[in-house]
């Protein structure tokens, strides 16, 4: 793409070349600055996170059903609140309910506010796996 732009610049009238080249250099530099400022982290593997088999299963279920609305490792939520450090707090951030396995299980199964319940979708073992994974966040 860049090489085709350079070829097009060479075919332009010579009166426009310096201005266009100058603008292209500025745009290119800005692009490189923005690109270098973006920090994209590689997704860490289950082993790198130190997940046991149950937690790894929970992570995969989380990715399939929860991740679209709840950010796992970020403090920013998506449509729902972030679940980062959810069990490190005394109370759940939105509901104010105790942050324990029983309350989180109820929310997963029955839903809450805008969140649908997954009681008809997930097996009890899958819910336990997700809860085990949430403890690692």
The domain locations on the chain are 2-37, 46-134
The two structure tokens encoding residue 25: 């250099």
Check whether domain 46-134 has CATH 1.10.760.10, yes or no: yes
Band the pLDDT of 114: cuts 50, 70, 90.
Answer: confident
Structure-model confidence comparison of residues 8 and 106, the more confident one: 106
Q: What is the mean pLDDT of the chain?
A: 79
Global confidence as pTM: 0.66
Helix and strand totals (H; E) in the chain: 6, 0
Task: Please state the rounded mean pLDDT for residues 16-36.
Answer: 57
68, pLDDT greater than 60: yes
- Mean predicted confidence (pLDDT) in 75-88: 80
């Amino acid at each position: 793409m860049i090489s085709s732009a350079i070829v097009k610049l060479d075919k332009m009238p010579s009166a426009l070349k310096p201005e266009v080249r100058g603008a292209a250099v500025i745009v290119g530099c800005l692009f490189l600055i923005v690109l270098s400022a973006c920090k994209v982290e590689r997704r860490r593997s289950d082993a790198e996170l130190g997940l046991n088999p149950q937690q790894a299963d929970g992570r995969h279920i989380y990715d399939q059903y929860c991740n679209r609305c709840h950010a796992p490792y970020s403090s920013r939520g998506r449509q729902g609140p972030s679940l980062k450090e959810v069990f490190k707090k005394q109370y759940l951030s939105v509901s104010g309910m105790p942050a324990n396995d029983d309350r989180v299980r109820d929310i997963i199964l029955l839903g809450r506010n805008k969140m649908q319940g997954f009681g008809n979708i997930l097996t009890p073992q899958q819910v336990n796996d997700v809860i085990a994974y949430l403890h690692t966040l």
